[in-house]
Amino acid sequence: MRTKILTCSLLAAGLFTATSLSARAEAPSEATKVPEGSSRFLTTPQKVVSDGAATIRGQHIAYQAVTGTLIVHAQGWDDSDTGSKDEKADKKNPDAVASIFYVAYFKKGTHPENRPITFVYNGGPGSSSVWMHMGAFGPHRIVTADDTHTPAAPYHLIDNNDSPLDATDLVFIDAPGTGFGRLVGKDKEKAFYGTDPDAAAFTDFIAQFLTRFNRFNSPKYLFGESYGTTRSAIIANQLASEKGVDLNGVMLLSQILDYDNSIDSVKSNPSVDQPYVLALPSFAATAWYHHKLPNQPKDLKPFLSEVEHFALTDYTSALQDGTSISDEKLEQTAQKLHQYTGLPVEYLKKADLRVSGGEFAKTLLGDDGMDTGRLDSRFSGPAIDPLGQTPDYDPQFAAMQSAYVSAFNDYVRNTLHYGNNPAFDDGYQEYKVSAHSIGKWAFVHKQPGSGRPAKGAPNVLPDLASAMKQNPSLKIMLNQGYYDLGTPFFEGIYEMQHLPIPRKLASNIEFHQYESGHMVYAHAPALAELHDNVVNFINKTHG
């Protein structure tokens, strides 16, 4: 997404039960002798190995954790070109490289050639994977409140009963410029901060990881969240077409593949009404959750089916009429939207039947002086500016950020034994949760078979379609939260149903919705469902 996508966990009780049995650094010995500020440490692969265990679904699972960095080069770099015309000049102005930080968990007592491996990452763009790691899939997770602000420290980690480590090894990848990874060299931000350069870096990282850990013959999966779904579509195609690597499956969480469907930026794109149609069911779910509907339905799912039908029929027709809409049709549509969203009829008419995500989040609880969350509209918080048009902050992000950042910094340093390195004068390295790269991001994408990058917002539907056509056995799983105003669930369904693929390949796609938000794992029952769906998907898509 074009705003920072962050993720959170759920309410639970208990204490962190895992014990790191041992840790052994395997970084090159010369790395520890490099003074602070030198690029050698940042451009030399690092690795620390530790042992741990967690109880997952009643199983005691012992694992080996590998924490470190791998080095990737800018898009188009050729590893056969190692010569230099001017070595002194190269040392002063080296080519851009990225050290990408990762944490991998390998279940002990398994055979790598038969053991699935899943590469997991968040979005942003420019977000670390701390949210998926600590909230969803890691063997230990942070305890946070369900739909309210989590109190300040101390925070607690517990065994993650819903980690899919019982079915697959896991590799959490931090985006370039985040985590303990860093960018160095000339034009370093231009080299990695963009839709295609970012995807190329992840593709190279995954291919390199498969080589270094001898996992080419393992069943392989991607799991991306939010902008990570955009990235996954490109990676899936590039792994097949450029690396000769077919995936068993691609799992998408809170999808956005065509940015023209975004309800965030729709106001700047007049004459394009589709985002309003696709966001309406999420508005309705949010109003239902906060009991703001004039006639509150008992059950959510039948209500949403009714809203979806209206969105694709009468609402679409009214929007397409534009300024030619009759007074009668305008009134009827506004009245129906009031029934489905709880927003005042006169407000809806003044908005010309078109309400953006930010406007909805500001208005639904506005009479109470509250804004709803964007990423998870179950959350709400006091409005900073009650007269503003859109919220000034995301209540869910504010509710959970501190817990995640604090818990991971403690966990990675004291349990995984990474981040306190004598190569730095004070022994401390900062874990960067975000690269803060959105303002520098090049949202430009070259679709498969195209001679040049397409103008306008990225659309990676052709990339995922290409991957599915090249590998007809590739399976796709879409996971979405009903209360997500950032990437509305109906948008993801619509995009999947409009992939440029043969109709017979549509059966390779499965859909799952949850009574949660953008980070579906922020709600305990949804996390349990997500685990079951992921494990079932993996078990049925590898031999």
pLDDT tens profile 333-364 = 999 999 999 999 999 999 999 999 999 999 99
Tell me the per-residue pLDDT of 446-455, one tens digit each, with 9 for 90 and over: 999 888 888 7
Total structural domains within the chain: 2
The arithmetic mean of pLDDT across residues 68-72, rounded, is 96
CA dihedral sign, ordered 404, 253, 256, 191: positive
Least confident window among 82-86, 466-470, 479-483: 82-86
* 426 — pLDDT class (breaks 50, 70, 90): low
**The pair of three-digit structure tokens given for residue 66, joined into one six-digit string:** 């590998």
Q: How far is CA 155 from CA 7, 16, 140, 179, in A?
A: 16, 10, 13, 20
* 41 — pLDDT class (breaks 50, 70, 90): low
Residue in 99, 231, 221 with CA at minimum distance from that of residue 168: 221
58 shares a domain with 201: yes
**Predicted local distance difference test score (pLDDT) of residue 30:** 33
66 shares a domain with 33: yes
Tell me the per-residue pLDDT of 488-526, one tens digit each, with 9 for 90 and over: 999 999 999 999 999 999 999 999 999 999 999 999 999
Tell me the per-residue pLDDT of 13-22, one tens digit each, with 9 for 90 and over: 222 233 333 4
**Predicted local distance difference test score (pLDDT) of residue 38:** 47
**CB 176 within 8 Å of CB 426:** no
Does 374 fall in a domain?
yes
**CB 99 within 8 Å of CB 69:** yes
* 12 — pLDDT class (breaks 50, 70, 90): very low
The arithmetic mean of pLDDT across residues 458-474, rounded, is 97
Share of the chain above pLDDT 90, in %: 78
What number of other Cβ atoms are within 10 A of residue 75's Cβ?
A: 17
CB neighbour list of residue 6: distance below 8 Å, 6 or more residues apart: 122, 127, 131, 375, 394, 397, 400, 401, 404, 519
Q: Which alpha helices (H) appear in 165-267, and where do they start and end?
A: 188-192, 195-212, 227-242
65 shares a domain with 43: yes
Q: Which residue has the tokens 């993801």?
A: 492
**Predicted local distance difference test score (pLDDT) of residue 457:** 87
440 shares a domain with 364: no
The arithmetic mean of pLDDT across residues 63-70, rounded, is 97
**Predicted local distance difference test score (pLDDT) of residue 405:** 94
Burial zone of 51 (CB within 10 Å; 0-12 exposed, 13-18 middle, 19+ buried): middle
- The DSSP 8-state label assigned to residue 368 in this structure reads G
**CB 228 within 8 Å of CB 458:** no
Amino acid (1-letter code) at residue 40 = R
Name the domain boundary from 343, 377, 396: 396
Does 16 fall in a domain?
no
461 shares a domain with 339: no
Residue in 3, 138, 46, 35 with CA at minimum distance from that of residue 443: 3
**Predicted local distance difference test score (pLDDT) of residue 92:** 59
Least confident window among 60-69, 125-134, 425-434, 452-461: 425-434
**CB 233 within 8 Å of CB 483:** no
Give Cα 431 to chain centroid, integer Å: 18
Q: Rounded distance, CA 366 to CA 382, Å?
A: 9
- Bridge partners (DSSP) listed for residue 445: 454
CATH number at residue 512: 3.40.50.1820
Q: How far is CA 455 from CA 172, 238, 331, in A?
A: 32, 21, 38
129 shares a domain with 29: yes
**Predicted local distance difference test score (pLDDT) of residue 145:** 86
Name the domain boundary from 335, 368, 396: 396
Does 121 fall in a domain?
yes
CA dihedral sign, ordered 437, 442, 446, 451: negative
Name the domain boundary from 362, 396, 430: 396
**CB 113 within 8 Å of CB 57:** no
| pLDDT at 26 exceeding the cut of 60 | no
Does 9 fall in a domain?
no
Q: Which long-range contacts (CB under 8 A, 24 or more apart) does 239-245 make?
A: 239/203, 239/206, 239/207, 239/467, 240/467, 240/470, 240/471, 241/448, 241/466, 241/470, 242/203, 243/203, 243/207, 245/206, 245/207, 245/210, 245/216, 245/220
495 shares a domain with 387: no
Does 3 fall in a domain?
no
Does 442 fall in a domain?
yes
* 108 — pLDDT class (breaks 50, 70, 90): very high
**Predicted local distance difference test score (pLDDT) of residue 75:** 83
What average pLDDT is seen over the chain? 89
**Predicted local distance difference test score (pLDDT) of residue 462:** 98
**Predicted local distance difference test score (pLDDT) of residue 74:** 87
Does 94 fall in a domain?
yes
**Predicted local distance difference test score (pLDDT) of residue 14:** 28
| pLDDT at 458 exceeding the cut of 50 | yes
Does 525 fall in a domain?
yes
* 422 — pLDDT class (breaks 50, 70, 90): low
* 297 — pLDDT class (breaks 50, 70, 90): very high
The residue range of the domain holding 364 is: 261-396
297 shares a domain with 352: yes
| pLDDT at 424 exceeding the cut of 70 | no
144 shares a domain with 54: yes
Tell me the per-residue pLDDT of 135-177, one tens digit each, with 9 for 90 and over: 999 999 998 888 889 889 899 899 999 999 999 999 999 999 9
Strand 182-184 and strand 97-107: pairing?
A: antiparallel
The arithmetic mean of pLDDT across residues 6-18, rounded, is 29
Q: Rounded distance, CA 285 to CA 49, Å?
A: 45
212 shares a domain with 359: no
**Predicted local distance difference test score (pLDDT) of residue 79:** 66
**Predicted local distance difference test score (pLDDT) of residue 43:** 76
**The pair of three-digit structure tokens given for residue 361, joined into one six-digit string:** 């989040």
The arithmetic mean of pLDDT across residues 50-76, rounded, is 95
375 shares a domain with 363: yes
Q: How far is CA 520 from CA 83, 156, 172, 496, in A?
A: 49, 20, 18, 19
207 shares a domain with 59: yes
